[in-house]
Amino acid sequence: MTHEEMKRNYHFNNPIIQTNYTADPAPMVYNGRLYLYTSHDEDGSTWFTMNDWRCYSTADMVNWTDHGAVMHFRQFHWARGDAWAGQCVERNGKFYFYVPISKKGGWNAVGVAVADSPTGPFWDPLGHPLVETNTGDIDPTVFIDDDGQAYLYWGNPYLWYVKLNEDMISYDQEVGVVQVSLTPEGFGKRVSDDPKRPTLYEEGPWFYKRGGLYYMVYAASGIPENIAYATSPSPTGPWTYRGIIMPTQGTSFTNHPGVCDFKGRSYFFYHNGALPGGGGFTRSVCVEEFTYNPDGTFPTINMTTSGVSPVANLDPYIRQEAETIAWSYGVRTEPCSRGGMNVCRIDDGDYIKVRSVDFGTGAAAFSACVASVKDGGAMELRLDRPDGELIGVLDVPNTRDETNWQLCRTSVSRAFGVHDLFFVFRGKGEAKEELFKFDFWQFDPIE
């Protein structure tokens, strides 16, 4: 997709994040929200240049709030880089984030970080790796079974697991580190002369349980990858190969699954290279809704640009973060001087789409928190498309400092019912770039 195609295709909903390159999606449902942890490909990468982990969350599956970088590899003093695919899980009010990192003077190892909130801050409770085998210790996946026993799987080209202790930062030393037997019956047969890779299993395992059946979903079949899966009646096998879920598609030679249920629906997360400048080292996370077959098997799932439908409408009459976005063009996000995140790099003609906004019986006014060191600009409020019905225009003044935030207000009209809302940004005079910053917004209802 080119920049012009991205601007024109405002009806697209995949990839779900457009303000950064993201990869390796790891969904976690907690307290009525779905939190999505991703790795982060740096702009212009020509290798897996990844320094931090990002978090996004949603209550409706279509509008994603950017929580920024929740952890950097430097928070592990023993690490030298490579913030690759991880997964977070909650237990007893704590959040445990399992991540692979390259060690100083060594190769990959799996570390664990802990937080009191799903969005951090995370810290390293061990000061050293949780586990390592020196055989490609990447892509950890974690699951807590119904009996309270937690399991951590990981690895490329081998698949390993440990039984985590209740503290979630150590593992059962008597059982130790267990290597899974990768057989064609369990993980599919690969046509390969490499004795290390007799099966389709490649990397990126995603382990979970549904209806008494355990699933191991994984990146498969070599480069370029597809997504396959196996099932088992127990958390440690024996595994039975079930087939390919997502065929090789898109412009990324890797893929990585993440599967979850949320508000009664099932979702399959993956990544591709669909954004402008995208590819195998500049990837983007996407999501599809699916329905399991009656016997618990997966249907075939293909990549789409349409994405998923909302599971709820967004309330415009409470504060909404500017970085809560369904689709956008041109803008980026950054840490805000007030805390949290804000939208930045706003140029003339850029826009943000927010899906399924329920105006009810009507809106009377609109407010937004903005900051500008230039002449400011304007924010057009439009319905359903970037050139759709204009319901209001907010003037953004020069606030004389990019940390001097000002709440601006304007009247609106003809905003009724449920619509997609577009913020279309305009410059003043000759000002066309870096117009202002945008923190949050809210409508007032007709009384």
> Which residue is catalytic, options 132, 137, 202, 420?
202
CA separation for the pair 249, 310 (Å, rounded): 25
> Which residue is catalytic, options 24, 132, 203, 420?
24
Tokens read off for 228: 């396959």
Q: How many CB atoms lie within 10 A of CB 360?
A: 16
**Do residues 103 and 97 make contact, with C-beta atoms less than 8 angstroms apart?**
no
**Do residues 218 and 226 make contact, with C-beta atoms less than 8 angstroms apart?**
no
Active site residue 146: no
Residue reference for tokens 């931090």:
52
CA separation for the pair 253, 276 (Å, rounded): 16
HSE (side-chain half, CA atoms, 13 Å) at 84: 30
User: In angstroms, how far is the first alpha carbon of the chain from the final one?
Assistant: 44
Q: Going by C-beta distance under 8 Å and a sequence separation of 6 or more, which residues neighbour residue 53? A: 37, 38, 39, 40, 69, 70, 71, 72, 83, 86, 97, 99
Residue reference for tokens 């500017």:
322
Amino acid at 30: Y
Active site residue 202: yes
Peptide bond into 157 cis (omega under 30): yes
CA separation for the pair 244, 440 (Å, rounded): 42
HSE (side-chain half, CA atoms, 13 Å) at 1: 25
Annotated active-site positions, please? 24, 202
